[in-house]
Structure 1
């Protein structure tokens, strides 16, 4: 009998009847730039909600701010592949992580590292948000199955720890849909929102919307705030 953490790997949110819901692409330690984008969209924390496709840290100068943002009641994130490095900081491929922006983590004390790891371990792999037009799914990179129901079942009731790791890795790392321009989509959702692959403008393939427009690259990118009701970027 294998043991699997009791952490909720799929988190469900009821419809927001008071304000707006937005999704944002990879943040990578650029929270000041993200706040500027929210201000431009007239984001109202008392009623609006922001859903992140993950990769809160690495590469940018404000990685420590991720914990403060996760404390905000209106900010909700799935786990990205960079966030997963933090969860497994003592067993992951450290050289690869540092090469891809993880040097900041080595400057933290061990208690600080453990705090980050414990907090990031609570991040779900998938989020689903109800809207008046239908259910919206959010994962970092992709849904590896033709239906959302299958992904939900695989994450919530995995057959083995090895199978769970395979599914999670696809959710966190896969770029095949974007690279192969797959348009089949994911059944059971109005739309699936993902990040992970930096692109100049949002791309929609079937009902899968890629929104990592590289707001973490100040010289060339910007943050896309996707309105989950209209499925259009905020002005």
Structure 2
């Protein structure tokens, strides 16, 4: 498992981050065209959950080969990683929309697992305004610096690192409590996992999974430098606490 990846500031173009994809790659491509995404200069980060639920989960290998695409690991990606290893049961995987992969031949299941296993749990990106962190669900401790240090330290027991990683891809305590406290030692944190009607914030944590895979949902693309949406229109009001 890759725990943490750091990106220097993009000096050629924009850094955007998209919410959970869930096999909706064609829809995301159309949004990128709308916002004038430059594949030679811009970078697209993502809050994870690349697969399950949507109709194009099998395109994930194609997208992971794009040099401008940088997602974190989500819980649905984790299911796909674990399936050929026998560490998730069929009933659980099916109930989480894993049928598209269960039907694949074992060799292809392994390719999906290996590719997604290279996704980091956490990404941090340098911007002109400060460092921005990206995780699927939440930063599970009060300090981002403490979080990534513990994730990446060989001195921390493997079980503790795995526990932190699972919290980062599953936790919902902050949004369920509408906790407005900021994550320390980071300018902002961007997360997905919990579908919301529009981009909103709790402290310095930005929620951008606006349910593109669901009826009535859409993708949200956030500019990492300004932390404002480039899609949909930035004038749309945010919720916050």
Shorter-chain TM range is over 0.9
Residue 28 of structure 2 is aligned to residue 28 of structure 1 = no
Residue of structure 2 equivalent to 1:17? 11
More off after superposition, 155-164 vs 129-138: 155-164
**Cα 1:94–1:164, aligned 2, differ >3 Å: closer, same or farther?**
farther
5+ residue gaps in structure 2?
Answer: 234-241
Which whole-Å deviations, capped at 9, do the CAs of 1:175-234 have from their partners, x for residues lacking one?
Answer: 1111101111111111100000001011100000000001111x2100000000110000
How many Å apart are 1:93 and its aligned residue? 3.4
* Alpha-carbon distance between aligned partners in 1 of 2:163 and 2:179, rounded to the nearest angstrom: 21
Helix, strand or coil: the match of 2:189? strand
| Inter-CA distance 48–231: structure 2 relative to 1 (3 Å threshold) | same
Report SS of the residue matched to 2:146.
Answer: helix
Q: Who is 1:231 aligned against?
A: 227
- Structure 2 residue aligned with 1:53: 47
Deviations 1:5-50 (A, max 9, x none): xx53100000011110111111000001111111111111111110
Match of 2:57 among 47, 59, 63: 63
Q: Which residue number corresponds to residue 113 of structure 2? A: 117
TM-score, scaled to structure 2: 0.92
Provide TM-score, normalisation by structure 1: 0.95
Which of 125, 132, 140 is the aligned partner of 2:128? 132
Q: What is the DSSP-based 3-state SS (H/G/I as helix, E as strand, rest coil) of the residue aligned with 1:125?
A: strand
Farther-moved stretch of structure 1 (201-210 vs 149-158): 149-158
Q: How many residues are treated as equivalent by the alignment?
A: 228
Task: Tell me: higher relative CO, structure 1 or 2? Use CA pairs within 8 A at least 6 residues apart.
Answer: 1
Q: Secondary structure at the match of 2:52?
A: coil
**Over aligned residues, Cα RMSD in angstroms?**
1.0
**1:202 aligns with one of 199, 203, 209:** 199
Tell me how far apart the structure 2 counterparts of residues 39 and 221 of structure 1 sit (CA, whole Å): 18
